[in-house]
Amino acid sequence: MKFAKVTARLGGLGSDKWAVHIEGRRRAALGEPMIFLSIGEPDAPPPAAILDEATRQMHAGRLGYAEGRGEASVRHALARLYTRQTGRAIDESQFIYLPGTQSALYAAMMAVVDEGDEVLVADPYYATYEGIIAAAGGIKAPIRVDPDHGFHLKAADLEKAITPKSRVLLMNTPSNPTGAVFTRSEIEKIGKICERHDLWIISDEVYATMTYGNSVFSSPFDIPELEKRTVVVSSISKSHALPGLRAGWIAASAEFCNRCIPVTETMLFGSQPFIEDAAAFALDNHFPEIDAMKRAYEQRARALVKSLEGSKTVSARMPEGGMFVMVDVRKTGLSGEDFARRLLAEENVVTMPGESFGAGGSGHLRVALTVGVEEITEASRRIARLAERI
Ligand SMILES: Cc1ncc(COP(=O)(O)O)c(C=O)c1O
């Protein structure tokens, strides 16, 4: 039987990137003690009150078909959230509720990219971006960002990468894997270029609540002149430690939402009303557990960076946000891939090779901040030990 080309375009993506993680899982299943720093899955439990709300709404009968653009409960909560964030009145017609950032990314890309259109993206980039771009028939146009400048995208490099086929800038702040957080002034400069070349900005803000030190989150959606060309995608997967709830959204212009809804409805025919209510509750309330979680990620990052300070061969910078640290192993002469494989084989520590996130991640490991300070310090000791041996 003949399959559609999209299956081939997407078929080759994926499994190689996760090879070290998969091997780590295999060895763990055999009973070997491994330290897993490979996946961005929050380790803290979510606020119990959100689960109670989901249960309450389920028992209250919120189990029918939902509105295609999302139930009023969650769209109103989103309107309140983004009105607070932007300081402008943001209307509930400017949202589509979707099961997670991933599906929001997919829908957004389908709504703006035609076959052969180029999607500009800072390299290294989140592992599923390649697939999302390819699914829509787009062409990935990676822009290398410099590790020695904190992996920040320079406006001049963006400008140089633009061609007549460029259609979208796909940005991610705070970034997975790099931990870079765009400043307001960087977004203004980048935004001017996008205006000049009439580019869409898809802004993945799934780590928006997680910034450290003096870093402050800002979004192109906050800038009034950029609102109509910006499509924000986000969720409560990371902010509230609830990836399994699959509660995410698009925030954009009402016109974008109206054009995109048929794309999402074709696939989903709505989501689960009781989960949408729980997401609304999560967005409307403050939870001390979330502050504690953010503090824990920051402490772990500081512990990792400090523990590597004594090493002459490996180093790490404090991330500005997100849940990952990039460890620079370039001085060992090994690729991130080879280092990650040896780290797994010789030190029982499972990380992601930087190359899994594009050529811009080469010579690095991505370390997830999902274990406690003691364990992460032990892992960094082993990373340094392997580096000295090499
Ligand atoms: C940058 C980025 N975007 C999107 C996602 C997917 O998030 P969600 O669980 O909301 O689909 C992740 C998950 O790791 C991520 O790191």
Q: Show the tokens assigned to 123.
A: 């390299």
Residue 353 main-chain phi, psi, to 5 deg: -65, 140
Class of domain 62-284: alpha beta
SS3 350: strand
- Ligand 1 pocket member 203 (CB < 6 A): no
Residue ranges matching CATH 3.40.640.10 in the chain: 62-284
Locus of tokens 């790490």:
316
The whole-angstrom separation of Cα 214 and Cα 229 is 28
- Ligand 1 pocket member 101 (CB < 6 A): yes
- Ligand 1 pocket member 102 (CB < 6 A): yes
**Could you please report the per-residue DSSP string of 210-260?**
-B-TT-----GGGSGGGGGGEEEEEESTTTTT-GGG--EEEE--HHHHHHH
- Ligand 1 pocket member 248 (CB < 6 A): yes
CA of 209 relative to ligand 1 center, distance in Å? 13
Pick the CATH number of 5-46+288-389 from 3.30.565.60, 3.30.420.10, 3.30.70.260, 3.90.1150.10: 3.90.1150.10
pLDDT at residue 12, as a whole number: 75
Locus of tokens 């290398």:
144
With contact defined as beta carbons under 8 Å apart, do 344 and 197 qualify? Answer: no
Peptide bond into 124 cis (omega under 30): yes
pLDDT along the chain (390 residues), means of 10: 91 81 95 95 95 98 97 98 98 98 98 98 96 96 96 98 98 98 98 98 98 97 98 98 97 98 94 98 96 96 96 96 98 97 98 96 98 97 95
* Residue 223 exposed, middle or buried by CB count within 10 Å (0-12, 13-18, 19+): middle
pLDDT at residue 141, as a whole number: 98
Residue ranges matching CATH 3.90.1150.10 in the chain: 5-46+288-389
**Could you please report the per-residue DSSP string of 97-136?**
EESSHHHHHHHHHHHH--TT-EEEEEES--TTHHHHHHHT
pLDDT at residue 14, as a whole number: 65
pLDDT at residue 167, as a whole number: 98
pLDDT at residue 306, as a whole number: 97
Residue 174 amino acid letter:
P
pLDDT at residue 16, as a whole number: 79
The CA distances from residue 325 to 12, 53, 182, 294, in Å, are: 27, 34, 16, 14
Q: Show the tokens assigned to 11.
A: 């078929």
Locus of tokens 């512990």:
303
pLDDT at residue 20, as a whole number: 94
With contact defined as beta carbons under 8 Å apart, do 195 and 229 qualify? Answer: yes
CA of 207 relative to ligand 1 center, distance in Å? 8
- Ligand 1 pocket member 126 (CB < 6 A): yes
CA of 250 relative to ligand 1 center, distance in Å? 13
